[in-house]
């Protein structure tokens, strides 16, 4: 079994000039945790995930410290940053590193990539253009069939 046989072909994508607000709403509406960011020709430019969006909403030092137990109980970093965060462009927060494979990559290879690269999705490219995605659930469903 290969990526071409299990991949999602109708991929929900983001554009680099879209706002975080637009993309977040799309992600929630479609029930996905991340979107490939593509240009008009379908070339993958990066990836935007829930992690980048949450990171945008937290003060920079919270992630660095790794613990917020020392902060007062009424500390609410989101309120202050929320109004500005929605207008940030996807190109400003997207990550440029993403896991990719081709349509002929086997399910076993996809599963290995997901585990070793600690990713939820693999972007499937034909040449340098996005043709699909394979998520952990796709791999798990295929494994359970057998």
CATH number of the domain bearing residue 10: 3.10.580.10
Give backbone dihedrals phi and psi of 19, rounded to 5 degrees, phi first. -85, 160
Strands (E) in the chain, as ranges, are 34-38, 44-49, 100-101, 121-126, 129-135
Q: Let me know how many helices (H) and strands (E) the chain has, helices first.
A: 8, 5
CA separation for the pair 146, 144 (Å, rounded): 5
pLDDT digits (tens, 9 = 90+) for 24-66: 999 999 999 999 999 999 999 999 999 998 888 776 555 555 6
The model's pLDDT over 68-123, given as tens digits with 9 standing for 90+, comes to: 666 666 666 555 555 567 788 999 999 999 999 999 999 999 999 999 999 999 99
Q: Mention every residue, 6+ apart, whose C-beta is less than 8 A from residue 46.
A: 16, 36, 37, 91, 94, 95, 96, 98
Distance (Å, whole) CA 42 – CA 25:
21
Domain span at 53: 3-145
Under DSSP, the state recorded for 121 is: E
Question: Do 35 and 14 touch, CB atoms closer than 8 A?
Answer: yes
Number of compact structural domains in the chain: 1
């Amino acid at each position: 079994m290969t990526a071409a046989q299990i991949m999602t072909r109708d991929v929900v994508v983001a554009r680099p000039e879209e706002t975080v607000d637009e993309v977040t709403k799309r992600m929630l509406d479609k029930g996905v945790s991340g979107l490939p960011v593509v240009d008009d020709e379908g070339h993958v430019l990066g990836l935007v995930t829930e992690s980048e969006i949450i990171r945008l909403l937290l003060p920079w030092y919270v992630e660095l410290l790794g613990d917020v137990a020392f902060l007062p109980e009424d500390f609410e970093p989101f309120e202050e940053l929320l109004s500005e965060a929605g207008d940030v462009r996807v190109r400003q927060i997207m990550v440029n590193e993403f896991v990719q494979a081709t349509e002929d990559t086997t399910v076993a290879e996809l599963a290995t990539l997901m585990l070793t690269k600690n990713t939820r999705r693999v972007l499937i490219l034909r040449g340098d253009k996005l043709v699909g995605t394979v998520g952990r659930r796709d791999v798990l469903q295929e494994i359970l069939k057998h």
